[in-house]
A and B are shown apart, each in its own frame.
Chain A
Amino acid sequence: MRSWFRKARLQRSPLRGMSLFADLGARELAVIDALLHRRSYVADEVIFDEGEEGNALYIILDGEVAIVRRDWPGDGVVARLTRGAFFGDLALLDNLPRSAQARAATHCHLAAFFRDDFFGLLETHARIAAKILPPLVRHVGLRLREAAGDKAAQHL
């Protein structure tokens, strides 16, 4: 009975269906869920600043987040991210300063994945890590290609 309730709870897990965790089973999602920190932000609240030391990746559980850069033309909004998207991923792989500011565009709920917890997961749950890493690396690669494209466009 207890395991049935647990399974039912996991079926309702907000992480289910997220692109980063698409390949994880219910039990694996529970392991990840135990590592995440839930945070809520009001509209217009800064999540992290450009140039700040980054220590966590954020997953949007609900709401909308704007990624803002000072040197970006117009209102500086590089992207608007919605439920299921994640950001701050470079900080997870390397503690470089944040390349942009993240700001809550609407009231939103986020799950934060602390860098040292992520590296702990790589060590203790290699199978889960192997399922998370491909989408994460694809995302970083996409962003690098976008950044390279922007730079080329600026040169033209």
Chain B
Amino acid sequence: MSTRHSHRFTAYALQGGDFGFASGRHGGPVVWAAIIAMTCLLLVLLQQVLWLVVPGLLALILYYLLHGPTRALVMRSIDPAPAATLVMGLFLALCAVLGILLLPMAARNLLDWQGSIERYLNGGLQLLDRSLRALEAAWPALARAELADGVAARLAQVGTSLIEYLEPLALALLTALPTLLLAPFLAFFMLRDGARFRRFLVAAVPNAFFERTLCLLHELDRTLRAYFIGLMKLTVLDTLTLAAGLWLLGFDAPLLLGLICAVLAWVPFVGSIFGGLLVVLVAATDFPHAPEMAGWAAALFVFARLLDDFVYMPATIGRSLHIHPLITVLMIFVGGAIAGVSGLMLVLPLLGVVMVVGETVGRIVTDQRLRARHRHARLLRRAQAEVDLVAPG
């Protein structure tokens, strides 16, 4: 898979996102250096509070998903606060019903999760072994090098240690699970008090920069909304495409597998690779006597990714955004180097936000007239405050 297949935000940006060189908003080199430096700094800082970043991101997604229904209620003359309460209440009720329905199945699978992982890993190892032995049969040079035996021995070693690592990882994930409950809590307050919070923020801005700040907040909201709503639509389309293909191939639980792959694709590079591997592992394990099924599954996965990049992405996330491809790709590498997988996930949304803020601040700082007006206003206020301080005579 090429880098284009890895991440929605990359392609979103590559296809012309609002982040960056949009609508004539070119920052100078100094502004751009500051934007990149600030993005890197924020990545380092956010890594320290990852437990808050993940629920924060989920809360943003939930906010933008529920914003439409809340707005629809407001249009029917319901006040924003009760509308937000009603929509969030209905969403939580739906989650509760789904949870009650799915809990028995999830509990059954959780009890045997380690066994399932071992089974799928063994299925994958057997497929690899069969493929290597077929290669050895075709090329005697490979047989003389005992390629299949060597790889099998190494992978068996890696597989054992992988399972040793999986248990603490799963426990750590379970420990972090309660923080995810913050997501609906945060989303509710964003829905209910978002406008009030925006007014509170803007009230702190000096008069000279007031209108620019309003535009900046509006642009940030529009950009994030376009991205997250587009991402959700894309995930649904990816899930349905993969599920339909896997169902035609005869896989068990195709919808669940499609959904896992679509969600994994949120993580640039690594996510797509894991998604592809997962499909192949499931094919190798569930169809041990039909090795060609793994090939079909891999082909389906590649087809779904191509469809995603060239058809779904332009239709959902859109072509209205602009970012330079070089910066996008470089920043993905920088994000990965600074903060690992979380950096890969966060770097582009973060760059988008910092870019909008950075360019607006850059325009304000370089606008001599606005700064002069601000200085003038400060002098006027100071003069007004000092009136009558000195006694006459």
Binding site for B on A (CB under 8 A): 34-35, 37-39, 41-49, 53-56, 107, 112, 114, 116, 123-125
Contacts and interface: CB of A to CB of B under 8 A. Distances in A.
Given A37-B210, A114-B214, A124-B74, A45 B377 contact: yes
B380 A43 contact: yes
B110 interface: no
15 contacts: A34-B196, A35-B195, A37-B202, A42-B381, A42-B384, A49-B373, A55-B214, A55-B215, A56-B211, A56-B214, A112-B210, A112-B211, A124-B71, A125-B74, A125-B75
A113 to B, nearest CB: 10
A43 to B, nearest CB: 7
Contact of B199 (A37, A42, A43, A116): A37
B334 to A, nearest CB: 33
B203 interface: yes
B214 A42 contact: no
Given A37-B199, A45-B207, A124 B75 contact: yes
Contact of A44 (B71, B74, B215, B380): B380
Nearest to A91: B211
B26 interface: no
Interface of B: 71, 74-75, 80, 195-196, 199, 202-203, 207-208, 210-211, 214-215, 218, 369, 373, 376-377, 380-381, 384
Contact of A46 (B195, B215, B218, B376): B376
A107 B208 CA distance: 16
Contacts of B214: 37, 55-56, 112, 114, 116
A35 B381 CA distance: 27
A6 to B, nearest CB: 11
Query: Looking at A44, A46, A47, A56, which has the most chain B CB atoms within 10 Å of its CB?
Result: A46
A5 to B, nearest CB: 15
A35 B196 CA distance: 9
Contacts of B369: 49
Contact of B207 (A35, A47, A107, A123): A47
Contacts of B373: 45-46, 49
A116 B218 contact: yes
Contacts of B377: 41-42, 45-46
A114 B75 contact: no
Nearest to A42: B380
Nearest to A35: B195
A146 B159 CA distance: 83
Contacts of A49: 369, 373
Nearest to A112: B210
Contact of A34 (B195, B207, B376, B384): B195
Contacts of A38: 203
A41 B207 contact: yes
Contacts of B208: 46
Contact of B211 (A34, A48, A124): A48
Contacts of B207: 39, 41, 45, 47
Contacts of A42: 377, 380-381, 384
A123 B75 contact: yes
A39 B210 contact: yes
Contacts of B202: 37
A2 to B, nearest CB: 13
A43 B218 CA distance: 30
B74 A55 contact: no
A96 to B, nearest CB: 14
Q: Give 10 closest A-B pairs by Cβ, nearest first.
A: A42-B380, A55-B211, A114-B214, A45-B377, A124-B75, A116-B218, A46-B373, A124-B74, A42-B384, A42-B381
B272 to A, nearest CB: 37
Contacts of A43: 380, 384
A51 to B, nearest CB: 10
Given A43-B380, A45-B380, 7 more contacts: A34-B196, A41-B377, A45-B373, A49-B373, A55-B214, A114-B211, A124-B71
Contacts of A37: 199, 202-203, 210, 214
A56 B376 CA distance: 22
